[in-house]
Amino acid sequence: MKIVSPNGNEYQVGKRLGGNSRFTLYACSSEEKKDTLILKISTLKKFNSDVDREAFLLGELYNEAQLTEEAFAKEKEEGNDTFLNYHFFFPLLIESFVSIDNGSRTVSVIDFSHICTKLVELVPISHIIKKQRLSVDPRTSAWILGKLLKLLDFVHSQEISVGNISIGNILINRDEHYVLIFDWSNATIQVSGLSDDTKTEEIASATKSVLKLLGSKNDGSLLKSSQIPDDRYELLLKSFALGDKSNALEAKDEFYSLIRNMWPREFYPYTTVK
């Protein structure tokens, strides 16, 4: 099947990848991009607003990520070659439109080429836990949770709640250390400001997802590992999971302060344990 946007862009629609009662996901390709696009289409016209809202939020997130990066570039010292890279935390919107030929349903085309060369490189945490029946070692969990806290610091500062932080909605590129939220259709902007309860819940949800990936026990206790000779890492993760933090920036700073004290500051490859 082929879908043509009002701008004249042609998308070849491939196999169905998933979805729910509100939208369906398909692999798709364009003349420029072959292996990194997903087409999302509302299942019924009445659900157009769900796809519209996500498209709007993805555009807002990208614009804010660019502005923040530009401001950071002006302020950082000469010779500092670091980047914030907030745009790695979400897919990029190519375009969104109403497809008259498909029942006037809203279509969004989203791109992942900034974080993968092929979609198969992105793996949901749930796949690692439930399909592969694997867990990760503590040092791998650290870079995953660290990036999730950085993501939450960024979106919460824009008064945006993710809405769905779960093992099925957190994707990782294991080789390149990218961590992102896949589906933003439940995300919302709170003009009056996010409540502390919402912020706390999302920090806790991110931590609980990583605890599951660590193979923790029901009470949050971690499996024995030579990488964690004491209980500081376990206690900090438990406190986040129990809702002790409502500020993602503070949680991120406290987290990185601990792990930099525990382990060398170096690239650590994705490592699983059975």
Q: What are the pLDDT tens digits along the chain (274 aa)?
A: 899 999 999 999 999 999 999 999 999 999 999 999 999 999 999 999 999 999 999 999 999 999 999 999 988 777 788 899 999 999 999 999 999 999 999 999 999 999 999 999 999 999 999 999 999 999 999 999 999 999 999 999 999 999 999 999 999 999 999 999 999 999 999 989 999 999 999 999 999 999 999 998 777 788 788 898 899 999 999 999 999 999 999 999 999 999 999 999 899 999 999 7
Going along the chain from its start, the domains and CATH numbers come out as 2-111 (3.30.200.20), 122-273 (1.10.510.10)
| DSSP secondary structure of 165-190 | -STTTEEEETTTTEEEE---TT-EE-
Q: Please provide the distance, in angstroms rounded to a whole number, between the alpha carbons at the two ends of the chain.
A: 42
Order of strands, edge to edge, in the sheet holding 105-111? 2-4, 10-19, 23-29, 37-42, 105-111, 92-99
What does the alpha-carbon distance between residue 116 and residue 136 come to, in Å, rounded to a whole number?
21
pLDDT at 129: 96
Beta bridge partners, 99, equal: 105
As a 3-state breakdown, the chain gives helix, strand, coil percent values, each rounded to 5, of 40, 20, 40
Cα 52–Cα 155–Cα 135 angle in degrees, nearest 5? 100
Specify the pTM.
0.94
Report yes or no: 124 and 170 within 8 Å, Cβ to Cβ: yes
pLDDT at 238: 96
pLDDT at 107: 98
